[in-house]
Amino acid sequence: MPNANQSPPEISDLQRELISEILEIIRGNRMAAGASLRESSIARKFNVSRSPVRAALDHLCDLGVTEHIAGRGYFLICDATDLPDIRLETTFQSVRRIYNAMINAHIDGSLAGAFHTSEIADRFLVENRPLNLAIQRLQTQELIEQTGDDRWVFSNSLKTRTEDDADMYRFRLLLEPSALLQPGFSISAEKIAALRAQQVDLMNRLETNFDVSEIYDANDALHGSLITACHNRFIINALNYYEPVGRMFEYRHYQETARTQTACLEHIDILDRIAAGKMQDAANLMHAHISAAFDAERKIRK
């Protein structure tokens, strides 16, 4: 069985992304042990040179997923069904995760007082660099402020900024549907399938076994993946920097099973339209989806 606990720290963000994509290809195609993983094919698929692909495949060798045979190439050691749960976060993904985790903890009351960065690092198992970037981001957005004893505290205005919340939803309505219509929008069929399966799994467990933070994280991953897929760095930077603030109050919606099930169905519908190449339909559905969340938020505040 491959070892999922080995995570070489020296790999680049691009290599981490390629490892994740290669694993999705393996799972999506249900590849069997002994299947060939061709450098050139993977490089063409993701429009990169062969060097980072080779580095990614070498690291998969270190993780016990692939093997390299001189003169022949790389081959899968295990069946797709036996792949370990390997998660290699990029710096950006780590920043996004800790940023959302801190906001979630504040909203649910478990991070209510002043805190030190070392406490956050221990609690959420995050390295110093992405943690410092997340802290910087929260401070820039005036969501946290520093106290006199080198600690941080969430701003008192966080839960009462009704007008800011409304403006943030309007901001999302302007950019998220547009992201789907960018000429450079591109997302793999494997990624769409993985995101869709996650939504179906959540929907199937709503009545029995689900965790609110898990739903939030899954929806955050879906929106984040679609934003990144537009490959317009200005839209990506704007949405990734500000948009999660507009989504953090949706956390409360996930307490309502009916609304959460509707949101999952809306997500699945959007993904299906993207898979079919019907991008205008997908953009229209995204606009309707965000509008519905906006309406739900206004009802909660009344």
Q: Which residues contact 16 (CB under 8 A, 6 or more apart)?
A: 88, 89, 90
Q: Are residues 213 and 259 in the same domain?
A: yes
Reported confidence tier of residue 9, pLDDT bands at 50, 70, 90: very low
- State pLDDT tens for residues 39-50: 999 998 888 888
pTM metric for this prediction: 0.54
Indicate if 145 and 168 belong to the same structural domain: no
> 178 with 285, same domain?
yes
240 with 191, same domain: the answer is yes
Q: Give the domain range for residue 117.
A: 91-158
Give kind and range of the element (H or E) at residue 68: strand 66-69
| Same domain assignment for residues 53 and 178 | no
Residues 137 and 182 in one domain: no
pLDDT for 211 equals 58
Judged by average pLDDT, the poorest of 74-83, 122-131, 157-166 is: 157-166
Indicate if 145 and 171 belong to the same structural domain. no
DSSP secondary-structure letter at 77?
A: S
The pLDDT tens digits of the residues spanning 75-122 come to 999 998 888 877 677 777 778 788 878 887 887 778 888 899 999 999
Say yes or no to pLDDT of 5 above 50. no
* Same-domain check for residues 173 and 232: yes
Of the residues 36, 60, 82, the one at which a domain ends = 82
Say if 134 falls within a structural domain.
yes
In a domain, 7, yes or no: no
pLDDT at 116: 92
pLDDT exceeds cutoff 50 at 206: yes
Average pLDDT in the chain: 82
CA distance 299 to 250: 12
- The 10 Å Cβ neighbour count of residue 156 is 8
Return phi, psi of residue 207, to 5°. Answer: -85, -10
Residues 168 and 251 grouped into a single domain: yes
- Is residue 8 included in any domain, yes or no? no
Shared domain for 210 and 238, answered yes or no, is yes
Q: Report d(CA 109, CA 267) in Å as an integer.
A: 28
pLDDT of res. 27: 86
Kindly report, residue by residue over 240-294, the tens digit of the pLDDT: 665 555 555 555 566 577 888 898 999 999 999 999 999 999 999 999 999 988 8
Q: Kindly report the CATH number assigned to the domain that includes residue 20.
A: 1.10.10.10
- Average pLDDT on 122-141 reads 85
Number of domains in the chain: 3
Higher pLDDT, 203 or 87: 203
- Residues 105 and 188 placed together within one structural domain of the fold: no
